[in-house]
Amino acid sequence: MQSKEQWLEKRSQGVGASEMPAVMGVSPYTSQYKLWAHKTRRLGDEIENEDMYWGKKLEHIICDEYALRSERAVQKCGPYDTNVHPDIPYMFATPDALTFRNGDDLGPGDDMGPVEAKMQGRFAQKEWDEGAPLIYQIQLQAQMAVLGTDYGVLCGLVGKRFKSIEIERDDKFIDAMTDQLHEFWDYVANDTPPPMDGLASTARALKRMHPQDNGKTIKLSAEMSGILDGLIETRVLIKSHEEMETLQKNNLVAALKENTFGRLPDGRIISYKTIDVKPEKQPRDGYSYRRMGIKEAKNG
């Protein structure tokens, strides 16, 4: 069994299944650029936060619950057990557990599939009700690709509800995913950053990479002149749009006055409610504010 340090060293040599959503550009947490910065050691390892801590703590409990409800055999995996794709040496998977469709025996030949256990708050319930969240579908497809299995299981404690979703292998998707992985890993191998993007995670990565100035002056390319002009134009456009937004809102507030609701001829309703702030959060005594909302007209 690998130690955590060995596992972290191994991860720098390839891409784990949980990182594949970033490679495909759909992760809400990590951009391609940020992942590239990690793999090229320009960024250190992420500091474990409270959500990550409890997610790891509850993995095995969630897997136990899946075994109980599905009546399938479940074999838990070590937290640092790394599986490598047989043909792609930089594609890894570390599933939380393995399950078997064919009874209780864990021997060879059983229909094995990876199990991925998640803990999420109640605000994620709607997304889970509509099916497996995309980033977890990608993670499981990557695990199936590495392990050579035909299915995988996503199970989770979402709010206070247990959910499990079985996902079948999709070879067309896996082909597209591995194509993007090859392209991304070329950036890592050549120490060349992927194209810049406008994602917040990239901005945070750049701040971490360059937290302080050194007082020096460097020459920038003509391309940077065009980018600076674009930034200035964008700021002017944003300011213009913000002023237009304020103008439209001012017109509505002036029409509503002290009234809570206003109904439009097309059936839409504008609300402008007073929000009372808890005393301990008030910047001054008696502080409150009004918040505007829009309710669409009912069909029919």
User: How many angstroms separate the CA atoms of 83 and 75, rounded?
Assistant: 15
Report the phi/psi class of residue 191: left, alpha or beta, with left for phi > 0 and alpha for psi in -120 to 50.
left
pLDDT one-digit tens code per residue, 236-265: 999 999 999 999 999 999 999 999 999 999
pLDDT attached to residue 108: 47
pLDDT attached to residue 48: 72
User: How many angstroms separate the CA atoms of 133 and 27, rounded?
Assistant: 11
Give the rounded distance of the alpha carbon of 194 from its chain centre.
19
Same domain, 114 and 59: yes
Q: Does residue 9 lie within any of the structural domains?
A: yes
Q: Are 58 and 119 in contact (CB under 8 A)?
A: yes
pLDDT attached to residue 104: 56
Same domain, 52 and 188: yes
Residue 234 CB: number of other CB atoms within 10 A? Answer: 10
pLDDT one-digit tens code per residue, 177-231: 999 999 999 999 999 999 999 999 999 999 999 999 999 999 999 999 999 999 9
User: How many angstroms separate the CA atoms of 234 and 239, rounded?
Assistant: 9
Q: What is the mean pLDDT of the chain?
A: 90
The pTM for the full model equals 0.82
Give the rounded distance of the alpha carbon of 213 from its chain centre.
31
The whole domain housing 119 covers: 4-209
pLDDT attached to residue 90: 96
Same domain, 196 and 67: yes
pLDDT attached to residue 110: 57
Same domain, 74 and 161: yes
From 209, 237, 272, the end of a domain falls on 209
Q: Which residue intervals of 218-300 are DSSP H helices?
A: 222-256
Whether residue 103 has pLDDT greater than 70: no
Q: Are 18 and 38 in contact (CB under 8 A)?
A: no
Q: Does residue 243 lie within any of the structural domains?
A: no
- pLDDT-derived band at 37 (thresholds 50, 70, 90) equals very high
Whether residue 280 has pLDDT greater than 80: no
Percent of the chain with pLDDT over 90: 72
Question: How many domains does the chain divide into?
Answer: 2
